[in-house]
Amino acid sequence: MDTMLEARLQTKQRNTQNSRETSLWSSGFGMKLEAVTPFLGKYRPFVGRCCQTCTPKSWESLFHRSIMDLGFCNVILVKEENTRFRGWLVRRLCCFLWSLEQHIPPCRDAPEKIMERTGVQNVISGRDPGGAGEGQVSGLVKKEVQRILGHIQAPPCPFLLRLFSWALLRFLKCVFLNVQLHKGQMKMVHQAAQAGLPLVLLSTHKSLLDGILLPFVLLSQGLGVLRVAWDPRTCSPTLRALLKKLGGLFLPLEANLTLDSSEGVLTRAVVHAASAPLGLWTGALAVLRILRGWGRSRPVCVRVHLAQPFSLQEYTINARSCWGSRQTLEQLLQPIVLGQCTTVPDTEKEQEWTPATGPLLALKEEDQLLVRRLSRHVLNASVMSSAVMSTAIMATLLLFKHQKLLGEFSWLTEETLLRGFDVGFSGQLRCLVQHTLSLLQAHVTLLRVHQGDLLVVPRLGPGLTHLAHLSAELLPAFLSEAVGACAVRGLLAGRVPPEGPWELQGIELLSQNELYRQILLLLHLLPQDLLLLQPCQSSYCYCQEVLDRLIQCGLLVAEETPGSRPACDTGRQRLSAKLLWKPSGDFTDSDSDDFEEAEGRFFRLSQQSRCPDFFLFLCRLLSPLLKAFAQAATFLHQGQLPDTESGYAEQLFQFLQATAQEEGFFECADPNLAISAIWTFRDLGVLQQTPSPAGPMLYLSPAFTSWENQEKLEQFIRQFICS
């Protein structure tokens, strides 16, 4: 592992390079060539495992150690061996013959299965508002169900599906060099499909081509036809009939009515029983974009990630046992922000940003909570199973002013693999760096200097904003360490000046209880969709995980006090009563530490030469979000309130852009960060929401109308920011 720059060199560069316009990064192309491989030793990280706490049976039964060794396959590489025939003519027509051999499972007895669903039976029996009642003839109801199903879907046409798969295969071979799929991930999905239960697939839609790429991949791997949903208002009757034969779903207009409407009750029940749909319309738009740019761009590689399947029934049974007491962000943090108390409540944060759609509101409150927490599990699995790309690593290095791109690129790739994340690239280091810079050439300036060195300068404005978007993909890999580093920064904020030397900061003793408190404060402040905490994981377990990560990466070292038991002595440790009641979390050696003994445990910042720069690197990973929050606090006395959420978000975004022009920090000039700040302030009780004819209106809460409390909020946020 390459060491980073010495602290004194970094301090000197910060003094001489005061703006991004004069900051140059040397690539070091004179270095000895080396290869970058996505392996640590013999194996590459296997990502996307399901939750062991909520779905232990699925975690064990749908995985085997040999799955990790299966490697990747190219799903668009069709050869003679993929067909039943052999010969010269077969090699010429292998794609067409392969498409003819695709298995299209028949769709039988759909009306009967729909009639047996509970929701449809409730409407027929009159137990739901607008139901038909017991006296209605069942034959008429069955015909009505068939009519609704005929509008929604049609039996797939095997010939059209095979013809479409052949045409799509030819198109994908022209667009992509290869479409990679991990055989082990696919084997887990096949094992889940063998149970005979329907598979519900949720996509994060990282590309506009997902709508046509995913159905093709699943069909080519023998999983049948994926039902996808289309908007009937965007298609002509002829196109609608064709798409139905290809597996399309068209939801009736009555399905979008409000839940209290008496019209379309049976339609909504049939729709809820018949679909788990995936949007496809954006795929057509992506195809048009690719065709318009045909010949101007080089073919690229793409990888499809499939997380480990799990049983939804098993999850619903086990997840309910992991629920504990929770409080809102306003109850947890507002008294601490305003200086009314210093103790962090011993409970979890309740923060749900899942959109409250009609089907979700139709569920009971307990089931709504179950669905919301299921979405957090799915989001965690999707992020953990996604590979880190070379553009994300390069953007991070450029944003944080690293000097030797070759050495630092290799170092950051290795650090990513060490944390259990997969990377989506490999090859010679020089070629990788050159290719990555060519992908970012619209956002950086490349300058050749003497002795073959290359100077790279990010472009101001949109260029820096785009690099910040790319670097955010690397944050999940270093999130625990980044939270810990910002918490340490907050703990030292009142003791040591931020611009003080590292040696002075390393003198300070940091108690474990103080570290726990700062980590908890930052955990409560950060949005849950950023932290990706599984709902079955307690905050105290995560605090210990953060502390362990800081020790493992060498930033913190234990300070042994005279007469105390060494931190490494775990022989006489016992489980404390405070830990036993925790609702979830695996019991490891680090978790079994007695919380009462933490009062006498202290740490110092390590004085190794690489630690100052690594500490600054971790802090800067969260800087865009935290600076956006701090500037949102500054904007409270300038914003025009009351206003709608969208209107106030536009006001705040314009303020972030104006501030970025003044300070040269464009990473936080992001509309998504503006919305995240507004939602966080609403949960914190800084902003309040009231209904109005124009929609929900935001206004400043009485507790934060004074400038003094607004200043307290801003200072609370800025303590975690490392300048």
Can you say whether the dihedral through the CA atoms of 680, 682, 683, 689 is positive or negative? negative
Whole-angstrom distance between the N-terminal and C-terminal Cα of the chain?
26
Query: CA–CA separation, 161 vs 99, rounded Å?
Result: 9
Q: What SS3 state is found at 159?
A: helix
Specify whether the CB–CB gap between 226 and 202 falls below 8 A.
no
Give the angle subtended at the CA of 475 by the CAs of 474 and 480, to the nearest 5°: 135
pLDDT attached to residue 590: 43
**Alpha helices in 445-600, H assignment, sequence order:** 462-471, 479-492, 502-507, 512-525, 528-531, 539-552, 577-580
DSSP 310: -
Rank 147-156, 348-357, 428-437, 543-552 by mean pLDDT and report only the highest: 543-552
pLDDT attached to residue 561: 62
pLDDT at residue 378 above 50?
yes
For the segment 45-72, what is each residue's pLDDT rounded down to a tens digit?
Answer: 888 888 888 899 999 988 887 888 888 8
Query: CA–CA separation, 584 vs 322, rounded Å?
Result: 6
- Range in 193-197, 235-239, 251-255, 381-385 the model is least confident about: 251-255
Q: What percent of the chain has pLDDT over 70?
A: 70
Q: Which residue has the higher pLDDT, 361 or 319?
A: 319
pLDDT attached to residue 159: 82
Q: What percent of the chain has pLDDT over 90?
A: 23
Can you say whether the dihedral through the CA atoms of 340, 344, 348, 351 is positive or negative? positive
User: What is the maximum span of the chain, computed from C-alpha positions, in angstroms?
Assistant: 90
* Mean pLDDT, residues 709-718: 95
What is the CA 714 to chain-centroid distance, rounded? 27
Q: Which helix (H) or strand (E) holds 48?
A: none
Q: Which residue has the higher pLDDT, 499 or 285?
A: 499
pLDDT at residue 3 above 60?
no
Q: Which residue has the higher pLDDT, 650 or 13?
A: 650
Indicate the pLDDT class of residue 138, thresholds 50, 70 and 90: low
Alpha carbon separation from 581 to 322, 536, 547, 566, 577 (Å, rounded): 11, 14, 21, 27, 7
Alpha carbon separation from 430 to 25, 27, 194, 401, 481 (Å, rounded): 15, 9, 45, 19, 29
pLDDT attached to residue 126: 56
Specify whether the CB–CB gap between 350 and 328 falls below 8 A.
yes
The pLDDT mean for the chain works out to 77
Alpha carbon separation from 173 to 226, 301, 625 (Å, rounded): 21, 10, 40
Rank 158-172, 499-513, 573-587, 604-618 by mean pLDDT and report only the highest: 604-618
Query: CA–CA separation, 153 vs 275, rounded Å?
Result: 10
Q: Which residue has the higher pLDDT, 476 or 210?
A: 476
